[in-house]
Structure 1
Amino acid sequence: MGFTFDDSNFDATPIAEMHQLIEQYPRNQERIFPYIGGEEVNSSPTHAHDRYAINFGDMSQTEAREWSDLMAIVEEKVKSERMKQKDRGGQEKWWQFLRPRSEMNRAIESLDWALVVARHQPQWSVALMPSNIVFSEALVVFALNQYPAFCTIQSRIHELWARFFGSSMKDDLRYTPSDCFHTFPFPANWETNRELESIGQEYYEFRAALMIRNDQGLTATYNRFHDPEEDDADILKLRQLHTQMDTAVLTAYGWTDISTTCEFRLDYEDEEPSDTQPTEGKRQRKKPWRYRWPEATHDEVLARLLELNQQRHEAEILGGEQAKKKAGKSKAKGATKKLKGVTMEKQLNLIPPDVEQLDMF
């Protein structure tokens, strides 16, 4: 919080003071960036931020002191806390973020936009955000800004993969890139697929306009999307577009024989309260309905993805060093993490592997 301008947090510097610093010395604005976390991405209809952060990147202390006003704030609010910690790097470079993720910043610096997802979320949703933002660790950032990438990652195909290999926090999906993204076999030539581009853009723009019209963010919108009692025309249209998006992704894989018909199914059945547990006066929990594929479709798609992951791993081994160099250029172009320890028998029977066994081959 010592780096942050935030009116709602006592430990942060008020935003009014930030404006004063910029007014007094306009160059201060060069090192002040929007700061956003998962809650804003999922709750704001426009993914709007309401916080800012001082960001010196990987500057030396001498370079950072050229912004003396901002350095004074960080020295007062951050340095003393860093010196109490055992992290030697954090003590030596107290004016920098403790975990700056320089690799991520370099990966997105040439992009105007980047795809992001909240690390924990009740409903699967992907958003496009400007890349010149300080992203909270609560967000997963992809160095991808194309609509074909959005279309594939937002689709049920990637969602079921993420729910299969990701973990959970309460009822929410916990998305871990090492397990959910690096292992995912994208369809061949997805970057230049015009159908993915077209339906991905149509879906994104319709959803964006819908959220603004309703003044609802992603979580509220997808709560309605998965509600079997919801029959609003715009929500019905969003469901239709989502099915078209799924169809386009399956077609990109060449899997045109798979039905994309959805139905409302419970994620799980709530336990019935016992006779000794009074229910009067208690708020009844809303049932966990989800508008999704039948289990047979779900299992068939997952089995094919697992088999494709295995095939690509074997192809890389046969290809030798040439395939490894190609894989190193872009994991998303088709090369995937090998699901180590997962035999084809286990894959086709949909037995999840031990997460600790997932590793780069």
Structure 2
Amino acid sequence: MRECYPTVYQWVRERVKPERDENKRATYRDNWWLFGEPRKEWREMSLGLHRYISTVVTQKHRFFIALESTVLPDDALINIATESYSVLGVLSSRIHFIWMLVTGGTLEDRPRYIKTRCFETFPFPILSEQQVAEIGKLAERIDAHRKQQQALHSELTLTGMYNVLEKLRAGDDLNDKERVINQHGLVSTLLEDHDKLDRAVFKAYGWPDLESKLVGRPGATTPLPDKPTDQVEAEEQLLMRLVALNKQRAVEEVQGKVRWLRPAYQAPDSTQVGVDLITEKDEVRKTTAPAAKGKVVFPKSLPEQLKVLRETLAERPHTVESLAELFKRKPRKSVEEGLLSLAALKLAEYEQETDTWYTTG
């Protein structure tokens, strides 16, 4: 660089090198003229792929897209090294979105996708060949639809399209600008395809009872305040089943049965096996009576319970008893169940010596 671009070299040396000299990371300190370092793990994982799955870390609406392998992602993206459209379909489903809301974080009012929590703990369904084809076809159609309409109308944004999509779900009237977005983005058609995808994924899990209660309802891509009671209860049941399935997978992995998403890369010598999906209903115990003054009511919904427990443990470790004491009516059983759910999601751990629970991240 010094020989070919001496002016640039001096500019970088004067402004960048002093800061890099203080960097604790040797590669940044020693190679101070380079912007960063090669992401060898990603290059190895994505080698040979025609495309991969990507989503923005922080965004109002959670959607996943297929990116061509020639696109090099930056640190604002979460990337999944698979070209499987069926995986894209499951990640794009309402089921994964609800899981993501509980396990992920937030920045202001926007959900943040944390890969180690949202993706690595998520129990994917085991798909038949027919389900792989059906879900993959729907996901590919959705991905192609969005790209095609954006190519035809350069002013279209995905956020704008999904703002309109959620208003259509809610049955709200569109203003003039939103009607244009609906027309240019063919958002009503996009909504229809998303509902078809959700139905297919619910069927893959074997949960038709929840399919009928949740598919088509608002709040499938962005947090929805003040949800109807029946929707809240259905989402609680969904989370309980996902947690149970997560625990089942954890037991199986201890036994050496791992459900690889990309077995040809992750475990080329292994044999993929099936799994019995959870179908029984889990009811969340409700607390309705008032309780002691000065204490807060333990939330009724599972997502809120897990959120409160995580936030409380972030302040300091607790025993089950000390946590329960913080809430009215001392809901020890619900607190204990919530802690076990957090442990299954790898968001909390139990220390037997001190009989305390603490957060893991």
**TM-score using structure 1 length:** 0.62
Q: CA deviation at 1:143?
A: 0.2
Find the partner of 2:173 among 204, 229, 235.
Answer: 229
Indicate if the aligned counterparts of 2:57 and 2:78 stay in contact, CA closer than 8 A: yes
1:311 aligns with 2:248: yes
- What SS does the corresponding residue of 1:114 show, helix, strand or coil? strand
Q: CA deviation at 1:87?
A: 3.0
Q: CA deviation at 1:73?
A: 4.6
Q: CA deviation at 1:356?
A: 5.1
Counterparts in 2 of 1:93 and 1:172: CA distance versus 1, 3 Å: same
Indicate if the aligned counterparts of 2:121 and 2:345 stay in contact, CA closer than 8 A: no
Find the partner of 1:202 among 121, 126, 141.
Answer: 141
Q: Distance in 2 between matches of 1:240 and 1:86?
A: 51
Counterparts in 2 of 1:87 and 1:348: CA distance versus 1, 3 Å: closer
- What SS does the corresponding residue of 2:257 show, helix, strand or coil? helix
Q: Distance in 2 between matches of 1:334 and 1:166?
A: 29
Which position in structure 2 is the counterpart of 1:300?
237
Q: CA deviation at 1:155?
A: 1.0
Indicate if the aligned counterparts of 2:259 and 2:273 stay in contact, CA closer than 8 A: no
Which position in structure 2 is the counterpart of 1:193?
132
Q: Distance in 2 between matches of 1:255 and 1:248?
A: 10
Specify every segment of 5 or more residues in structure 1 that has no aligned partner in the other structure, as ranges: 1-64, 270-289
Counterparts in 2 of 1:132 and 1:205: CA distance versus 1, 3 Å: closer
Which position in structure 2 is the counterpart of 1:254?
206
Indicate if the aligned counterparts of 1:75 and 1:95 stay in contact, CA closer than 8 A: no
Q: CA deviation at 1:206?
A: 1.9
How many residues align? The count is: 266
Q: Distance in 1 between matches of 2:259 and 2:193?
A: 37
- What SS does the corresponding residue of 2:75 show, helix, strand or coil? coil
Where in structure 2 are the equivalents of 1:146-165 lying within 5 Å? 146-165=84-103
Q: Distance in 2 between matches of 1:305 and 1:205?
A: 29
Q: Quick one: higher RCO (CA 8 Å, sep 6+), 1 or 2?
A: 1
Indicate if the aligned counterparts of 1:151 and 1:245 stay in contact, CA closer than 8 A: yes
Q: Distance in 1 between matches of 2:126 and 2:224?
A: 31
**TM-score using structure 2 length:** 0.62
Where in structure 2 are the equivalents of 1:16-35 lying within 5 Å? none
Which position in structure 2 is the counterpart of 1:268?
225
Where in structure 2 are the equivalents of 1:87-106 lying within 5 Å? 87-98=25-36, 100-106=38-44
> In the TM superposition, what whole-angstrom CA distance separates every residue of 1:59-113 from its partner, at most 9, and x where no partner exists?
xxxxxx7x96479857752545422434333112334454543211211122121
Q: CA deviation at 1:217?
A: 1.7
Q: Distance in 2 between matches of 1:240 and 1:202?
A: 11
Q: CA deviation at 1:300?
A: 2.0
RMSD (Å) for aligned C-alpha atoms: 4.0
Where in structure 2 are the equivalents of 1:131-142 lying within 5 Å? 131-142=69-80
What letter matches 2:144 in structure 1? E
Q: Point out the structure with the larger strand share.
A: 1
- What SS does the corresponding residue of 2:199 show, helix, strand or coil? helix
- What SS does the corresponding residue of 2:61 show, helix, strand or coil? coil
Indicate if the aligned counterparts of 1:121 and 1:173 stay in contact, CA closer than 8 A: yes
What letter matches 1:323 in structure 2? K
